[in-house]
């Protein structure tokens, strides 16, 4: 996680109370902040940013929370802003790009070097946290005295205009900015495949920014700036609204005059932003007791929530009505409120209790056998990898030249094209790792132990057993061990020697029978047969065409065996549904 450096002096100035370094670190830790400590050289407070709490990314938010926790100022802050009279008009054409925008006007601050640095840090930290690296929300901050309201948020073609991007001296088109400007190169993927780009301009057509990429140089905030215009854009309204609420709260806490902006959409919707109205939630003390394990009265819960800067009122039925501040983007469920009740009560005040029931456990026989395999493989000089269970037909079949036997488990709603199926073997994971490490020293020896999956047939013995139990299995998991060697002298004899060494250590009785199958070279592969005459694996030298598809220039040998069959442990009696 990113680390933010905050001045303890500024924090204590906002807090209005003197604390020693030890007390400050203690209270921040009790609030749930991940504090690294105070830098011995700079004297700055170093805190790991928690993406769930963007309202604690700066000293204003930390002071706001500490005031409540320490009882200096409890309950919610009232954020009521006057209307600036400024409008942002959203033009048609941005529906599939970044349709949503919120804005605010901030007046009356002296933007000295320290404040400018703090605001820029907050902007980038919010881009990382709520904005998910600008994908969900991006922020623009402009010197209001350099522009003429009202503003237009509109689509522009890649070559539709020219402006000087921030930090540059040459006017460029949007397309040129994406190709040549450092910020354009870093974030061009956010506008990939878009026929038009978002553009924010003033009443005279002067460009303020091209969200989410770059501001214009002319609107740069300097130490002479006193009034700023701030916008947040994104493809979804929630992240945009919450991001602006955090920003507005910070500037209000700094003593600035914050004013709202009206946003007009093509469908005649009118939003007054920022939206600072608290959200109402109901909290049941019974649920609090069930989750935390301590009995608190509604009045006690109400007071604790006020310490955590919520509005809270005890109702006649014993429940607590909670007003959640607009800047709290992390409160989505009553469990989030209960977590804050626990923090406000103090985790250090909770009395540890022994669990009323104890459930003894022991590893499954198959897992014990797998651990034994791992010890043997590492003893033979191999490094273990862990590849993803979800894969794609291209990775599992096409790149290796293997035919799909139609027993593959296909996902109905995959998250991406690279994760559409459950893997059928572990070989592709070994090959992809070799490909990634193609420039590393040789030899490379890798192994993986994991599950592969296949659909069940009605004739399958596992399926028959499952149906007898009145279940409806669709697929099963098979535990396998796969290994690979990449080396200029790797050959069939070497991979067979490894399998034989593994068998000797684990007391397996194996035989090798010549076989021709992808992804191996014809005549340089074999099936592995156990003492019962069952096929339990394959091994061989990888075909040169397969090596080319993975960008490998050295020979590779692979092997894969079914651990369950070799140990006589049933690893597929728990079918997937």
* C-alpha torsion 67→70→72→74, nearest 10: 70
Q: Are 163 and 101 in contact (CB under 8 A)?
A: no
Q: What string of H, E and C letters represents the secondary structure of 341-371?
A: HHHHHCHHHCCCCCCCCCCCCCCCHHHHHHH
Three-state SS at 142:
strand
Q: Which residue from 104, 384, 139, 375 is spatially nearest to 256, judged by alpha carbons?
A: 104
Q: Quick one: tokens of 31?
A: 């609030």
Q: Quick one: tokens of 402?
A: 């293997």
Q: Are 147 and 206 in contact (CB under 8 A)?
A: yes
Q: Quick one: tokens of 150?
A: 């009202």
Q: Are 448 and 479 in contact (CB under 8 A)?
A: no
> Is 339 assigned to a binding site?
yes
Bridge partners for 323 per DSSP: 280, 311
Q: Which residue from 100, 406, 438 is spatially nearest to 265, judged by alpha carbons?
A: 100
> Is 168 assigned to a binding site?
no
> Is 330 assigned to a binding site?
yes
Whole-number Cα distances in Å, 414 to 155, 235, 397, 455 = 32, 21, 18, 18
Whole-number Cα distances in Å, 288 to 144, 292, 299, 336, 560 = 47, 6, 13, 11, 51
Q: Count the Cβ atoms, other than its own, within 10 Å of residue 460.
A: 16
Structure-token match 């007054």, residue found: 272
Whole-number Cα distances in Å, 208 to 127, 152, 259 = 18, 10, 19
> Is 461 assigned to a binding site?
no
CA dihedral over 173, 178, 180, 182, signed as positive or negative: positive
User: Known binding site for Mg(2+): residues?
Assistant: 330, 336, 339-340
User: Known binding site: residues?
Assistant: 330, 336, 339-340
């Amino acid at each position: 996680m990113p680390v933010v450096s905050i001045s303890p002096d500024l924090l204590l100035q906002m807090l209005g109370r003197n604390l020693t370094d030890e007390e400050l670190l203690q209270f921040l830790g009790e609030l749930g902040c991940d504090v690294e400590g105070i830098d011995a050289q700079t004297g700055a407070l170093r805190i790991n940013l928690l993406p769930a709490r963007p309202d604690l990314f700066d000293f204003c938010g930390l002071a706001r929370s500490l005031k409540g926790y320490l009882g200096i100022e409890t309950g919610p802050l009232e954020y009521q802003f006057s209307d600036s009279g400024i409008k942002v008009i959203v033009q048609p054409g941005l529906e599939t790009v970044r349709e949503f925008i919120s804005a605010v006007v901030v007046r009356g601050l002296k933007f000295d070097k320290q404040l400018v640095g703090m605001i820029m840090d907050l902007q980038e930290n919010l881009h990382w946290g709520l904005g998910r690296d600008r994908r969900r929300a991006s922020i623009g901050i402009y010197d209001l005295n350099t522009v003429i309201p009202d503003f237009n948020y509109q689509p522009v073609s890649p070559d539709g205009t020219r402006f000087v991007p921030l930090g540059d001296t040459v006017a460029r088109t949007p397309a040129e900015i994406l190709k040549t400007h450092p910020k354009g190169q870093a974030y061009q993927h956010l506008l990939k495949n878009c026929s038009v780009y978002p553009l924010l301009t003033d009443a005279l057509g002067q460009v303020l920014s091209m969200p989410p990429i770059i501001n214009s140089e002319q609107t740069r905030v300097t130490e002479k700036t006193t009034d700023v215009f701030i916008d947040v854009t994104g493809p979804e309204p929630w992240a945009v609204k919450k991001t602006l609420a955090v920003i507005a709260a910070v500037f209000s806490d700094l003593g600035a005059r914050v004013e709202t902006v009206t946003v007009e959409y093509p469908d005649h919707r009118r939003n007054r932003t920022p939206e600072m109205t608290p959200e109402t939630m109901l909290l049941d003390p019974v649920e609090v007791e069930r989750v935390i394990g301590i009995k608190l009265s509604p009045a006690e819960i109400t007071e604790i929530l006020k310490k955590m800067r919520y509005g809270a009122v005890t109702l006649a039925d014993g429940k607590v009505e909670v007003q959640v501040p607009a800047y709290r983007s992390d409160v989505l469920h009553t469990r989030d409120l209960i977590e804050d009740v626990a923090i406000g009560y103090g985790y250090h005040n909770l009395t540890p209790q022994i669990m009323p029931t104890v459930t003894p456990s022991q590893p499954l026989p198959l897992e014990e056998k797998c651990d034994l395999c791992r010890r043997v493989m590492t003893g033979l000089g191999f490094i273990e990898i862990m590849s993803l269970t979800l894969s794609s037909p291209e990775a599992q079949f096409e790149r290796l030249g293997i035919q799909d036997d139609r027993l593959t488990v296909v996902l109905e709603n995959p998250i991406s094209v690279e994760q559409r199926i459950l893997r059928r073997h572990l070989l592709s994971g070994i090959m992809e790792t070799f490909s990634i490490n193609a420039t590393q020293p040789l030899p490379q020896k890798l192994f993986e132990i994991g599950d592969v999956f296949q659909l069940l047939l009605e004739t399958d013995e596992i399926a028959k057993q499952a149906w007898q139990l009145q279940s409806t299995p669709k697929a099963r998991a098979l535990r396998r061990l796969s290994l690979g060697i990449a080396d200029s002298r790797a050959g069939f004899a070497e991979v067979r020697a490894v399998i034989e060494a593994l068998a000797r250590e684990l007391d397996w009785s194996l035989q090798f029978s010549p076989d021709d199958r992808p992804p191996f070279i014809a005549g340089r592969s074999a099936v592995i047969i156990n003492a019962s005459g069952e096929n339990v694996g394959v091994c061989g030298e990888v075909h040169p065409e397969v090596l080319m598809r993975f960008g490998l220039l050295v020979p590779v040998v692979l092997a894969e065996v079914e651990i369950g069959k070799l140990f006589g442990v049933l690893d597929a009696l728990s079918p997937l549904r």
